[in-house]
Amino acid sequence: MMATMPALSHQLLDPKRRPSVVSDACALIDTEVARTSGLSGMAIKSAYKVVQGVKPDAVPRAVDELLPAFTAQLETYHQQSEESGRPLTDVLSDDPGAVADALLGIADARVARTSRTTVRKAYKKVRGVARRHVVDALPGAAELVSRHTSLAGA
């Protein structure tokens, strides 16, 4: 009989692990932003700089604030991965657009609540191409989740 893994939220949001998860997520975002190219890449890099310029700790704070909602969205996929024995990357690649839309819906709601007009404007400029970039980042996100959940038993 296979032991059941704790819920993804219990693993990623554990107070001992959460700072490392947030730090790794920020590093993933930095990497993904840096590798964007073309006109949409320039827009994303510009918007990212605007957000960081408004408040230097804005990205880590936003990641930390949104982590519970992102974790909740990924829970079903993580369970499918655990139950099927398939890597999370493979499960996410079954319908990457739906995963990206679910995650972007969380960011959309957060941006809608912000009082910072500059941040809202910067996000609006890149939102149209964001789905593609989130889809591209899903393998890195899956690796991040897998790395932190594999530590759960350690």
Tell me the per-residue pLDDT of 99-110, one tens digit each, with 9 for 90 and over: 999 999 999 999
On whether residue 47 sits in a domain, the answer given is yes
Residue of 111, 82, 120, 113 lying closest to 6 (CA atoms): 82
The domain of 143 spans: 17-150
Q: What is the pLDDT of residues 19-38, one digit of tens each?
A: 999 999 999 999 999 999 99
On whether residue 145 sits in a domain, the answer given is yes
Q: Which residues of the chain have pLDDT under 50?
A: 1-3, 154
The predicted structure's pLDDT at residue 1: 37
Tokens 């320039």 locate to: 42
On whether residue 137 sits in a domain, the answer given is yes
Tokens 């296979």 locate to: 2
Total structural domains within the chain? 1
On whether residue 91 sits in a domain, the answer given is yes
Task: Give the integer Cα–Cα distance in Å for 111 and 88.
Answer: 28
On whether residue 9 sits in a domain, the answer given is no
The predicted structure's pLDDT at residue 81: 94
On whether residue 68 sits in a domain, the answer given is yes
The predicted structure's pLDDT at residue 151: 59
